[in-house]
Amino acid sequence: MSSCPALLFHSCVWEPYSLSIKGQLITSAIETQNNANADADTGVLLSPRAYVQQLNSTIRRHLAPRSRFKCDHHDTCMYIERSKNENIVAYQANLIDSKTGEPVKSGAHQSCCSFNTADPLHAYWIKINSEHVARRRARGELEDTCELNTIERKLAYGCTASVVSKEKFLSEVLPDKALRAAASREKIEAIEHLCEEVQPCLCKFVALSSWSVWMLRLPPLVEGADATANVAPNTDKEASPLPRGGDEGQALPMRDTVVVMVAVIAGQLSVLQKVYVESIEPKHFYQLPKVAYIEVHGTSLTTGEPTYEKLTN
């Protein structure tokens, strides 16, 4: 099976771009055969960069508004629901100002953010269970978020995340040395541009160490008044196979920096929405819970339809 970066690049950037070139060549040939004016405008030939921006726009339309649960945050890119109770484990990206290196509270209304390479992702509890909330209030605690303890972090809900280099990303997209050697300069530059744009970060979850998830930083699509500038159109199914999908009215604002996780779910490249963990609770206090299975929910970037997969270790 192809890796997530390979699917992301080939399915969402390079193949649509290649089809657009093919479409332009066919159109030009037909016009020539019909004695069309040789100087006629046959349309704008889009670059791979335009399809990277189209991918950015498409992903945004598949993200739910950031009001999914209590204490939801703009930069929470994934969350875990559990069989034990209603409490949620949230995964929030740590962003910094790309110019100053200082932390930012949120990617909302931020035009120049990047992952904190030393600590890209923060996992923590959001307490929703009424009994837990009542106990926190009795202790004088007014906030309903708290850190994972050491056992939870190392054995249950912890996650490691690392920003990958251009060289590593290139090897993920083109894993074979022969493919890399044969790739055109334009293709290599397109891969490098995608890497620069999304700052890919490889994430591994403790609960399912064999499952790879990629966290992406989506920069604002525009600056200034033109909210659609430089975004590849998506009117020709052959030239631009990425689905519109999603709800245009609920898409996260184009001027915000947005963080998302993508993964291969049931064989399809998908935006990861949430995870459900079914656990087996221990019979004795000195025992630890065991994960029975994990359900992964996402949205296909190919069809725009929901994706689902049940995973076990």
pLDDT tens, 162-202? 999 999 999 999 999 999 999 999 999 999 999 999 999 99
Distance CA 5, CA 237 (A): 23
Residue 107 token pair: 């990617």
pLDDT tens, 134-157? 999 999 998 999 999 998 998 889
Q: What is the pLDDT of residue 149?
A: 94
The mean predicted confidence, pLDDT, of the chain is 85
Q: What is the pLDDT of residue 33?
A: 53
Q: How far is CA 271 from CA 153, 202, 288, 297, 307, in A?
A: 24, 14, 31, 9, 9
User: Rounded mean pLDDT of 64-77?
Assistant: 93
Q: What is the pLDDT of residue 250?
A: 56
pLDDT tens, 227-281? 344 444 443 333 334 444 555 555 678 999 999 999 999 999 999 999 999 988 8
* This prediction's pTM: 0.85
End-to-end Cα separation, the chain, in angstroms: 18
Q: What is the pLDDT of residue 42?
A: 46
pLDDT top residue among 31 and 230: 31
Q: Where are the beta strands (DSSP E) in the chain?
A: 76-82, 88-93, 95-97, 113-115, 121-126, 145-147, 159-163, 201-205, 208-218, 258-265, 268-280, 290-300, 306-311
